[in-house]
Structure 1
Amino acid sequence: MLTQSTAPSPLWQPGTREFKDSSLARFAARCGFEPSDYDALHRWSTSQSEAFWNELWDFTQVIGSRGDVTLERSSGEAMFGARWYPNGTLNFAENLLCGDDGRLAVIEANERGDLRRVTMGELRAQVSRAQQGLRKLGVTAGDTVGGILPNNADALVVLLACASIGAIWSSCSPDFGAPGIIDRIGQVNPKVLFAVSEYQYNGRRFHLGENLAEVLRGLHGLQHVVLVGDAGSIATGTTPCMSWSEFNSAEPRALQFEQLSFRHPLYVMFTSGTTGLPKGIVHTAGGVLLEHRKEHMLHCDVRPGDVMSWYTNTAWMMYHWVISGLASHAAVVLYDGAPIVKTADGLDLGMLWRMAEAAGVTHFGTSPRYLATLQESGYLPGRQHDLRALRSVLSAGAPVQPEQFDWLYQSVKQDMIFASISGGTEIIGCFVMGSPLHAIRRGEIPCKGLGLAVDVLDERGASVIGRKGDLVCTEPFPSAPLTFWGDNGDARYRAAYFEARPGIWTHGDLAEQTVDNAVVIYGRSDTTLKPGGVRIGTAEIYRVVESQPSVEDAIVFGVPVGGDEEIVLCVVAKDGNELTSEFAAGLRDEIRKRASPRHVPRHVFQVSSIPYTLNHKRVEGAAKATATGQAVKNLGSIINPESLAQYADLMQRGTL
């Protein structure tokens, strides 16, 4: 068991400023706690949760009305069905479109190194045009609107315009294949779809005409298509299509913000689709706003005038997380392109750091895979770029290895906070993260989020310290999903997070808490894949592979490599044929086109059989365990355990 005397030496420690002037220190003092005693503050925030969230609402100056009730619990339910601020009203967009007209709001960046700055006044004017455009198309509160858009200002404008009138936003990245988009946006039946006909990635232009035409054929109830960027055209069939300039033709006027309930749906976001269609998570406007205000202002110490960036796309929750920084009077960087660009001279590793230098980024968000690539390449951002504005680097999507902590403080900057954060799409936030009041130790996430009763339980349901267990949350919190989109949404939601432990949210992460109340995350406890820190599901890969005429069967799993995860695909050929490297190349290309580049397996092997359970389910965990030299826990449930022998030396064999 880890003790105080054997805890790793800090890589960074808070000083006088953090304990006196940080927002978290001021909030602690306001609530009657010493800033140095975070554990007491956290215990209060979970045991007196109503008082905590009310104090947070007032401290962060949420625009809206709390109403006269803070929390209503369902009869007999500890968490499921809890209603926060049942009489409260607010508008999400109004809280983000705040501050003086002249303050910096958005910095657009791309692979060419261009930066375009947008003031709050300019952003409001663009949102006003889009708001009027939506109303002309008949969009009202409760309607769903979809987006197939890159990470640029246009996407942000449409999202905020939807939120301003109470429409529900759901977005996908344009590099998803048509089936992946239909599996997601097709579930919400959008009234209006915003899409680009082309996008740029890694120095190449990709045209989406055929892909979008297939998407449109798969959507039901669509009334209008808006082609963003005025570039190219697509075949929309009988669905009316207009250009971005036509949609935005109105003159700006004062924005009108619909005052909606705290629980009004804001986003439908999708899980990875591990066992079927991706699950549509319905998030509320009030829950998202309160959780993000807490995380940004208190845990990340975001201040007015700061500049936040995160390498993400419009399908990942970190996009929605970073744009909420506008509510803290920070500017947000929207980067459209690859993090590492191939050039005639080789790989350009400095793209994001040049952007950070030029934009004056204070909070730089990334993934462990990106950091590992820089580390392996010997790149030294702190020596090659002026990062004097940088105060924090944050990482999400996968556990950060202890060696990466060392590299960051040696190669990026010593006087900064590095925060590995962990939560998920399901809560659109973080169960565990950093703070300006916590020392940074290699391999550890410093603290549990305020207001979140996070614990680690073993198979008995007992809280454990110094041992691995399931990450759970035992008390209600505002950013919990409203429901799952579609039929039987509440039942599916309950089954996903409360079936394992009735009344307790079981998140699906394998974790360990230390005696210092830090947390170590070891990864998902299910079969979700996370290459490059982006969660994807095996079902989407199976859907492509099984459509190949030469494939009899297949199994997919991930193997840990250098702090990240690489996808392994094992295929059984029909009629006992041999599969070639040309076949594997074609299969990878098909997966790239029909799912996304992130779904492409790094390793493809030919095997003779796939392990199955007695009820004929693939056993990805057993294949992965055997391939990585671990014990198979569920061997007794496998109908053909002899099939696992060929996976024992898999990673030493030549891949296709």
Structure 2
Amino acid sequence: MSTANPSPLWRPTDEVVAQAQVTKFQAWAAEEHGAPSGGGYAALHRWSVDELDTFWKAVTEWFDVRFPTPYARVLGDRSMPGAQWFPGATVNYAEHALRAAETRADEPALLYVDETHEAVPVTWSDLRRQVGSLAAELRALGVRPGDRVSGYVPNIPQAVVALLATAAVGGVWTSCAPDFGARSVLDRFQQIEPVVLFTVDGYRYGGKEHDRRDVVAELRRELPTLRAVVHIPLLGTDAPEGALEWSSLTSADIEPVFEEVPFDHPLWVLYSSGTTGLPKAIVQSQGGILVEHLKQLGLHCDLGPEDRFFWYTSTGWMMWNFLVSGLLTGTTIVLYDGSPGYPDTGAQWRIAERTGATLYGTSAAYVMACRKAGVHPSRDFDLTRVRCVATTGSPLPPDGFRWLHDEVRDDLWIASVSGGTDVCSCFAGAVPTLPVYIGELQAPGLGTDLQSWDPSGKPLIDEVGELVVTNPMPSMPIRFWNDPDGSRYHDSYFDTYPGVWRHGDWITVTSRGSVVIHGRSDSTLNRQGVRMGSADIYEAVERLPEIRESLVIGVEQPDGGYWMPLFVHLAPGAVLDEALLDRIKRTIREQLSPRHVPDEVIEVPGVPHTLTGKRIEVPVKRLLQGAPMEKAVNVGSVDNVELLHFYEKLARERG
């Protein structure tokens, strides 16, 4: 790819740069900790990875992290896996998340929005009071530090209260969204053996009510470690036999008591998408998440008490945990529970308008859907308060950047970010003081030594390589659950380059310091020895109005050959005739290269996704290689299992 000198799509004004938290942090860190005072972000980043200990010490001081017991040193051991952060220190995540209640008691901490799009506030003082009440009740139920507390709940205020109360008592939180079926929830929760389960009776989505009482009954039967079940009557039903009522646990007026836990004490368990085998149960620490999220939200997202932070997400995705951490910076967070496109495709923009969101995060897929549907955000909504639109989930194509620039505002800060559930944060993305180039992430994050490596471990610039991180990040997993010897954790990230985190994405680090993500390296297309990312093909093909969505797979054949089919899900009324076939191939050839042109274009009834909306590439590849369904994919993690039978049948016919 060319990284000649294009002109940026957006540049921050001098005033924006001067006012940014990261600018003030750099000036302060230069005086207090020897950071470079000149050289802008690039110099600060270099210092942050060269002087890792000093950088993270500076972060804890800048954000006034409270350590009831002080730390002996910043990094006790920096080997990966197994880095030890702030050994000796104690801390509590929930205490920091509720600090703004001390100064802004009557202002909203949460704005809750359902499909009526009316925002309902929860003040800081009320949030703190509910957390205090619930934490006391959890302790009365015998929940002790290290016990697991689970939520089968949508993105509602009760979910935030339950997470914070769990963290306050030193418990370990984990959640699934109620659109997950019983099997996929049990695949996750049975691994960690929760003692308390918070559940709803159902949820509303797309204008319909979905009753989940049967699923809840099954979860209760299949989770023998449960000591208590708490009923949240979202649809207004009575608590089932033996369940506790949410309102009775959260009505007392009690100051929260925050357990002092070690820095590396587990905070929550997140899950990999689990498309093959059981989802990995990823454990992150109270202290590690606290300092990583303060850095990411406070410095990179530039959030503070004046901001309103809206990210479209569900409780089954790491972005929900990341959204809740907006409270750490004193920011009002917006919880939207409902369909991303109800009652029309413009729904999320309406919510951004009505809540006065200053940072609005969504998926690249939603941006492209708006572009296709002819949504005009700035014409139809007042988005003057939105400073930044951030996207994740998949790379934002160049057309997405242009559309946001043209249709929202030409002085809009567009932050395409990329990270992972594995670290519950971003490896690269938003920097308020840097320009934005079309199709690029602005820069690697502070303290994150992100590089692109070739197979022998040589760093590459302006060339495609593996995304690696060569030094530890505080939010890297402390372990996986049920992985006593650490082998599953090691094999997930550290088996390719010993001692170096390999994430499984293809990236380019440009000579300007920006980053381009090309797609997953484990489903990478490799033709005649040339590696290609699937994202580039999706971007080209899905510009065609006839193509609703596509999926490209590269299958190594037993005879040494290589088969690269492109599956297309057509828009209503479109037909895959010779003319469309020809346009698809010509588009790919002209925009990418002849090497990117697929061997076959096959019409499919739909593209399967994980429950968090990612296209399923690797399991489809395994099916096409002849693996049986139960070996190729964990069906509980798929949004529409019926679609997989199409690919299974195709494999049989070809076989």
Residues 419/610 of structure 1: CA separation in 2 closer, same or farther (3 Å cut) = closer
Say whether the 8 Å CA contact 2:317–2:612 is kept in structure 1. no
Q: Are 1:232 and 2:237 counterparts?
A: yes
Letter in 1 for 2:184: G
Q: TM-score, normalised by structure 2?
A: 0.80
Letter in 2 for 1:58: E
Per-residue CA shift, 1:73-94, capped at 9, x if unaligned? 16xxx32211000111111001
Q: Are 1:128 and 2:129 counterparts?
A: no
Query: What CA distance in whole angstroms lies between the structure 2 residues aligned with 1:2 and 1:527?
Result: 24
The SS at the match of 2:428 is strand
Q: Are 1:157 and 2:157 counterparts?
A: no
Q: Are 1:562 and 2:545 counterparts?
A: no
Query: What CA distance in whole angstroms lies between the structure 1 residues aligned with 2:183 and 2:631?
Result: 23
Which residue number corresponds to residue 47 of structure 1? 50
Per-residue CA shift, 1:183-241, capped at 9, x if unaligned? 011211110000001110000000012222222222131111111127325766xxx31
Decide which moves more: 221-230 or 105-114: 221-230
Map of 1:149-298 to 2, 5 A cutoff? 149-229=153-233, 231-233=236-238, 240-249=242-251, 251-298=252-299
Residues 516/25 of structure 1: CA separation in 2 closer, same or farther (3 Å cut) = same
Give structure 1 stretches of 5+ with no counterpart.
Answer: 343-347, 529-557, 570-586, 621-641, 648-656
Give structure 2 stretches of 5+ with no counterpart.
Answer: 31-35, 525-536, 554-603, 635-649
Q: Are 1:79 and 2:80 counterparts?
A: yes
Note the C-alpha offset of 1:618: 5.9
Query: What CA distance in whole angstroms lies between the structure 1 residues aligned with 2:114 and 2:523?
Result: 34
Which residue number corresponds to residue 91 of structure 2? 90
Which residue number corresponds to residue 625 of structure 2? 611
Note the C-alpha offset of 1:18: 2.9
The SS at the match of 2:56 is helix
Say whether the 8 Å CA contact 2:506–2:521 is kept in structure 1. yes
Q: Are 1:417 and 2:421 counterparts?
A: no
Paired-residue identity, %: 38
Per-residue CA shift, 1:483-520, capped at 9, x if unaligned? 00114262211111111111000001111111111110
Query: What CA distance in whole angstroms lies between the structure 1 residues aligned with 2:500 and 2:549?
Result: 29
Per-residue CA shift, 1:433-452, capped at 9, x if unaligned? 12111100100001000001
Which residue number corresponds to residue 6 of structure 2? 8
Note the C-alpha offset of 1:367: 0.3
Query: What CA distance in whole angstroms lies between the structure 1 residues aligned with 2:136 and 2:631?
Result: 51
Query: What CA distance in whole angstroms lies between the structure 1 residues aligned with 2:479 and 2:512?
Result: 35
Which residue number corresponds to residue 345 of structure 1? none
Per-residue CA shift, 1:280-320, capped at 9, x if unaligned? 00000111111111111111111222000000000100001
Note the C-alpha offset of 1:31: 2.4
Query: What CA distance in whole angstroms lies between the structure 2 residues aligned with 1:358 and 1:418?
Result: 20
Which residue number corresponds to residue 347 of structure 2? 351
Say whether the 8 Å CA contact 1:18–1:25 is kept in structure 2. no
Query: What CA distance in whole angstroms lies between the structure 2 residues aligned with 1:500 and 1:597?
Result: 27
Residues 599/19 of structure 1: CA separation in 2 closer, same or farther (3 Å cut) = closer
Q: TM-score, normalised by structure 1?
A: 0.80
Note the C-alpha offset of 1:22: 0.9
Selected match of 2:372 from 376, 387, 390: 376
Residues 131/643 of structure 1: CA separation in 2 closer, same or farther (3 Å cut) = closer
The SS at the match of 2:486 is helix
Query: What CA distance in whole angstroms lies between the structure 2 residues aligned with 1:600 and 1:39?
Result: 34
The SS at the match of 2:113 is strand
Note the C-alpha offset of 1:37: 2.5
Q: C-alpha root-mean-square deviation of aligned residues, in Å?
A: 3.1
Say whether the 8 Å CA contact 2:542–2:550 is kept in structure 1. no
Note the C-alpha offset of 1:140: 1.6
Query: What CA distance in whole angstroms lies between the structure 2 residues aligned with 1:510 and 1:456?
Result: 8
Query: What CA distance in whole angstroms lies between the structure 1 residues aligned with 2:437 and 2:113?
Result: 33
Residues 588/138 of structure 1: CA separation in 2 closer, same or farther (3 Å cut) = farther
Query: What CA distance in whole angstroms lies between the structure 1 residues aligned with 2:250 and 2:605?
Result: 40
Note the C-alpha offset of 1:566: 5.0
Per-residue CA shift, 1:361-391, capped at 9, x if unaligned? 0000000110011000111111111111111
Say whether the 8 Å CA contact 2:172–2:269 is kept in structure 1. yes
Letter in 2 for 1:400: L
Say whether the 8 Å CA contact 1:19–1:35 is kept in structure 2. no
Which residue number corresponds to residue 497 of structure 2? 501
Query: What CA distance in whole angstroms lies between the structure 2 residues aligned with 1:224 and 1:28?
Result: 48
Which residue number corresponds to residue 651 of structure 1? none
Which residue number corresponds to residue 531 of structure 2? none
